[in-house]
Structure 1
Amino acid sequence: MSNITKAQEAVLPICVVGAGPAGLAMARALKAAGLDFEVFEKNPGVGGIWDADFPGSPMYDSAHFISSRDAPMSSFRGHPFPRTAAVYPSRRDVLAYLQEFAEAEDLSPQIRLSTAVERARPGDGFWEVTAGGTPRRYSALICASGTLWDPVVPELAGAEQFAGRVRHSVTYRAAEELRGKRVLIVGAGNSAVDIACDAARTAKSVSLSMRRGYWFVPKFVAGEPFDLFIRRPDALPQWASPPDAAALLRLLVGPPEAYGLPTPDHAPFASHPIMNSEVLHHIGHGRITPRGEVARLEADGVVYADGTAEPVDEIILATGYRAETPYLPEGLFDYGAGLRPRLWMRLFHPSRRDVYGLGFLETNSSVFRLVDLGAELIASHIQAGRAGAPARLALDGLAEAGSGPDLSAGAKRLETARHVDYVDSRAYAQALEGMLETHFPDGLTGG
């Protein structure tokens, strides 16, 4: 347990690591609470991964939000996307939105750009954080350093003899890189299918390797974004409402197996939805060939698990990311079998009261609204602790016990590292809103 005294808390500021979406939401909440804080950002601007010019960003030219501009989870409270943004905002739209949010909330004075946090260690009642080579002391540490900076690169049997190129999708930027090549994309997330669709326009051939079947969700239904259409009470006939989402998707796009894709082994939205209206079109026109799992590489190509062999020039591994926090002491965050820290309500350390995580989420929508609510809960928790409010003790008891609401909406998730602690966006938002209303009904009152 942390032994920070109230006197020290009143003097020492709070440290926030990262000025991406989560860090900016956290900065606004701390400012509204009247708490002293500093944000450290390793890059020369705000926006995190959404600035493709930042080293290590996974953004590519064709990247867009998978949730629509006006969906509830797509924006911060009080800051809707401008109508000039695309219905599914491009990466440039999102970056501009984040920059404008930081400016509108006047967050720049508290953000130290081009200043990486190299080391953070707990002391006797404080955190010593070394950023830009300079150590400083803080009363609390909030890790908002992002989840898409550290690629997961699987070992492929026979890779040492493969004459072509193997790289992770974090290095991919534009379709022109693949012109005239025989390309294999490994993975079935939204980035994988986006890159496959890019390659379909320029590459000599494109294959998409998937270990299991997934549900494909159209971006528009009857001219309306799917995530808004599905929420309309009058949009769906009774037979197509949950739990019959599978029937709806089979009606709208057809069964995946009709396109040569494997049959999903899970219910719709029990995993990340593949929001892409192009990939099935390209598969149907022979521009993308569905493949199974890779068994091994050979000198000139790939052999799949079903024995099929194929010549390949380049392999792009769209195999995900692990949310590393290398500035923390080893073992401070428990990852279990997953790719993100295991935190109570995805925010609170199970035993320490002076370190938090924000944005370490895997969910089925955008996270902007979710990190906004999480930031308010963290700021309220810190504020209540300094005031000695009983709400703080109540929340601490829940965190230590590990008890809380069901964040899965009752769905059985896939047993993969990516889906450990997966949350349903609506269930998670409702849980956060409920905690704020129950424990901190007056909101943030320091601003």
Structure 2
Amino acid sequence: MSAPLDVVVIGGGQAGLAAGYYLRRLGLGFVILDAQTEAGGAWQHAWDSLHLFSPAAYSSLPGRPMPVQTGEIYPDASHVVGYLTAYEERYELPIRRPVQVQGVHRDGQLLRVETDCGTWRARAVISATGTWWRPFLPAVPGRDVFRGRQLHTVEYRSPQDFTGQRVVVVGGGNSGAQIAADLAYNTELTWATQRPARFLADDIDGRALFDAATARRRALDEGSTDTGGVASLGDIVAVPPVREARDAGLLKAHPMFSRLIPEGVEWADGTSAEADAVIWCTGFRPALSHLAPLGLRGARGHISTTGTQAVDEPRLHLLGYGDWTGPASATLIGVSRPARDAARDIAQLLGISTPVSARAAHT
């Protein structure tokens, strides 16, 4: 591109849109590069029954409340996609898609963003690519000998795909519990978790989790005792489908098996369960391969940050990857504050004064 921009935002999901909202309020020149063909980020690829952990009122991006979904307390993924689509249209965010970012490079006083659609140069970059695109599979012995089907959360769509089958769901978090609940009625289900399943109290939802994460971050920043954050409350939000399956006695967690065998899974004591499919609900890792040219990763592959700003490259901010880039920043409700802070920090770095209206803006 000809003239350099103030900021290039990489990723057009919820974190990228929140960043765009604040960058626009600050009057910065920017573009959002999104690898997807349509709006909605990772939500457009979620399984059919996925619902938010919070009501719409507590699941909004800055500036525009999420509307209530008719007949639902907790909005489903399709409702979120519609909301994100309307959000980017409402604020006329400058999004280019599909654009696949191949690498971010230092280029003198600028950062150069190489893509499959050309090159952008900017004074700062916000990486907001999330984690959905980098599913994690644990190194469990026997994965290569199991004769059935193996898939990760990202590949699961509907219980109808497994009707009448013997299915092992692995993972004691929200994804594992929701997918296990999904499959509990029409499959022979085995739910395996690393530790006993910990359900949060039925009245706790995403708003309470955000508050807990924020309180923990504040305590750590102040040098106070670690509150434990979300982990102190439990691992699984009892959204209605999970609660119903649990109360019906259909969600019984088994200890994690020690290995896979050709016909299924086997525990350390020699007991086994036959399986036609294993669904790994084992989480994700940050999708950061596009930042490799900057050489910022430490020994464990982690990029050191202060808030959202990369310690060794102050022109780079990382947004929406989890608590290490802002409390609950991988959630709709949690991404607003770190997005606001990132935009303000960039404006300060670039010597751009912050308007009063932008200083006051928050969700």
Using the TM superposition, give the Cα deviation of residue 70 of structure 1 relative to its aligned residue in structure 2, in angstroms.
2.1
Identity %, equivalent residues: 28
Partner of 2:85: 99
Q: 1:355 aligned to 2:269?
A: no
For normalisation by structure 2, the TM-score amounts to: 0.83
Instruction: Supply the distance in 2 between the matched residues of 1:376 and 1:226 (Cα, whole angstroms).
Output: 24
Using the TM superposition, give the Cα deviation of residue 21 of structure 1 relative to its aligned residue in structure 2, in angstroms.
0.3
Give SS of 2:306's match: coil
Partner of 2:237: 275
Q: Deviations over 1:256-302 (max 9, x none)?
A: xxxxxxxxxx8974376311244465356453442111111222121
Check the 8 A contact 1:152/1:319 in 2, yes or no: yes
For normalisation by structure 1, the TM-score amounts to: 0.68
Instruction: Supply the distance in 2 between the matched residues of 1:296 and 1:37 (Cα, whole angstroms).
Output: 49
Using the TM superposition, give the Cα deviation of residue 124 of structure 1 relative to its aligned residue in structure 2, in angstroms.
1.1
Q: 1:332 aligned to 2:258?
A: no
Structure 2 residue identity aligned to 1:290: A
Q: 1:370 aligned to 2:334?
A: yes
Give SS of 1:198's match: helix
Cα distance change on mapping 1:226 and 1:354 into 2, 3 Å: closer
Runs of 5+ unmatched residues, structure 2: 216-227
Choose the corresponding residue for 2:186, options 185, 191, 202: 202
Structure 2 residue identity aligned to 1:361: G
Give SS of 1:201's match: coil
Choose the corresponding residue for 1:66, options 53, 68, 71: 53
Cα distance change on mapping 1:278 and 1:307 into 2, 3 Å: farther
Q: Deviations over 1:330-385 (max 9, x none)?
A: 573436658x644222x011132211111111466972233222222122122223
Give SS of 1:15's match: strand
Partner of 2:41: 48
Instruction: Supply the distance in 2 between the matched residues of 1:89 and 1:36 (Cα, whole angstroms).
Output: 33
Partner of 2:113: 129
Runs of 5+ unmatched residues, structure 1: 1-9, 53-58, 232-241, 243-265, 390-439
Check the 8 A contact 1:216/1:275 in 2, yes or no: yes
Using the TM superposition, give the Cα deviation of residue 114 of structure 1 relative to its aligned residue in structure 2, in angstroms.
0.8
Instruction: Supply the distance in 1 between the matched residues of 2:230 and 2:19 (Cα, whole angstroms).
Output: 32
Cα distance change on mapping 1:43 and 1:281 into 2, 3 Å: closer
Check the 8 A contact 1:209/1:291 in 2, yes or no: yes
Check the 8 A contact 2:57/2:65 in 1, yes or no: yes
Q: Deviations over 1:397-447 (max 9, x none)?
A: xxxxxxxxxxxxxxxxxxxxxxxxxxxxxxxxxxxxxxxxxxx793537x9
Partner of 1:76: 61
Q: 1:19 aligned to 2:4?
A: no
Partner of 2:154: 170
Structure 1 residue identity aligned to 2:232: A
Instruction: Supply the distance in 1 between the matched residues of 2:9 and 2:209 (Cα, whole angstroms).
Output: 36
Q: For 1:313-332, what aligned pairs fall within 5 Å after superposition?
A: 313-329=276-292, 332=295
Partner of 1:428: none
Using the TM superposition, give the Cα deviation of residue 105 of structure 1 relative to its aligned residue in structure 2, in angstroms.
1.1
Instruction: Supply the distance in 1 between the matched residues of 2:108 and 2:341 (Cα, whole angstroms).
Output: 25
Cα distance change on mapping 1:308 and 1:39 into 2, 3 Å: same
Instruction: Supply the distance in 1 between the matched residues of 2:16 and 2:280 (Cα, whole angstroms).
Output: 28
Structure 2 residue identity aligned to 1:444: A
CA RMSD of aligned residues (A): 3.0
Check the 8 A contact 1:40/1:113 in 2, yes or no: yes
Q: 1:344 aligned to 2:306?
A: yes
- Rg larger for: 1
Partner of 1:234: none
Partner of 2:224: none
Structure 1 residue identity aligned to 2:84: L
Using the TM superposition, give the Cα deviation of residue 133 of structure 1 relative to its aligned residue in structure 2, in angstroms.
3.7
Q: 1:33 aligned to 2:17?
A: no
Q: Deviations over 1:7-48 (max 9, x none)?
A: xxx953311101100101111111111111111111122221
Give SS of 2:164's match: coil
Q: 1:382 aligned to 2:346?
A: yes
Give SS of 2:295's match: coil
Instruction: Supply the distance in 2 between the matched residues of 1:364 and 1:375 (Cα, whole angstroms).
Output: 12
